[in-house]
Amino acid sequence: MIRRMAIDERGATPSIPRFPDGFLWGVSTSAHQIEGAADTRGRSVWDAFTAEPGRVKDGSTAEVACDHYHRYREDVALLAGLGVDAYRFSISWPRVNSPQGLDFYDRLVDELCAAGVRPVPTLFHWDLPVELDWLERDTADRFAAYVSVVADRLGDRVGTWITLNEPAEHTLLGHALGTHAPGRRLLFDALPVAHHQLLAHGLAVQALRAAGAADVGIANSHGPTWPASKEQADLEAADFYDLLLNRLFADPLLLGRYPDGIEALMPGDVEADLKVIAQPLDFYGVNYYAPTRVGAPQGTEIEFGGVSMPAELPFSVRDIEGVPTTDFGWPVVPEGLTELLTGFRDRYGDRLPPVVITENGCSYEGVDDRERIAYLDGHVRALHRAVEAGVDVRGYFVWSLLDNFEWAEGYARRFGLVHVDFATQRRTPKASYSWFRELLRDQREAAGARTG
């Protein structure tokens, strides 16, 4: 009871609703953001990007990051202490291509299994080998071959696989707007990147099935799109934004078709490719952070959420007023998660597989991070409301276990449940780590009481 009261004083209320038995609780990371040990792997597009002056706001790189490559045992102990069921990490394609190959992931998976934590690898989290290019169709075939190598080595211990992480962001930020690697500013000429990633996903699912995998999904980022007003120009702009960020990536996977008008813009034999893209999935991963308020273009370039939005886009992103914001400036809107999931259920019906929230988190400074506790508390409750509304949700992963290299923001943003002093690599669990650990204990106790 003393432990619970201490948590309450940091902003959380005591009783989180009980989730269904077998619900999967976890945390997420990605290879490039935490592993370091850049001298033991090949180069990625992110290594090339961060070497260019001005690309990363604090001028930093991920050459060392959290040094997880050397400290993975310490980090697995943090996972075990937290009490999570599963750990979602990513496998670095450039590391697999190095002479050491999959040796590190062999060790990591063994350590996770020994600690009773389910390994959930993501096979691509933006760190494309520098010699490859998503504008080229051949990259999809190369990805499938890499996936086969990984599955052959780790498939005896890994049961759950995620093919791609956030192909929308990798397309839009990396290839359309140029704020992420590889730093291209192609605007709508970046659409082939989306198609080739989706094709790579479908080919990867086929490769994983051939290797015996029975639990395969993808991690797509999604959020509700809110029109800035009921004016027709704002409604049309919001609809177009929603198409780009949500339907462009969900419709091919779940419906086997692109939204109206998009198929003609994609390369190759799109009809044949869509049959590959729409492979049946065992779960659909959703990364949720916030809704987006969108209106008609305003004719000027704006900075929003760390991203420069060109004036020539046919929409403009607006602030959501009257809600708290994180240290990153992102709006905190837990009810958007409920809206998103019930909306997906209504749109896709029985074509929507069971859902797993593969990322949800926030950037705040400090170890006594009561704002993060309040954020997670609100979103877990919003998720439960979606479950109560009939959405088949099977799991929830917090982003992230560790403070890390936050892409173009460098080390200025802290999303971790564990604070990392990047000068010393000392790990310090935050108040939110204790809160999440207590939540997991409560859920297990409730499950035990139901079956006892």
Cite the active site residues: 166, 359
Answer yes or no: are the C-beta atoms of 394 and 55 closer than 8 Å.
no
Structure-block tokens of residue 286:
């959703």
Dig out the tokens for 281 from the structure: 């999935």
Write a three-state SS string for 73-133. Answer: HHHHHHHHHHCCCEEEEECCHHHHCCCCCCHHHHHHHHHHHHCCCEEEEEEECCCCECCCC
- Nearest one of 371, 395, 374 to 383, comparing CA atoms: 395
Which of these, 222, 325, 332, 308, lies nearest to 317 by C-alpha position?
308
Rg (CA), the chain: 21
Q: What count of residues does the chain have? A: 452
Looking at this protein, which amino acid is placed at residue 5?
M
Q: Taking the CB of residue 361, how many other CB atoms lie within 10 A of it?
A: 24
CA–CA distance, 188 with 186 (Å, rounded to integer) = 6
Token pair for 91: 């496998």
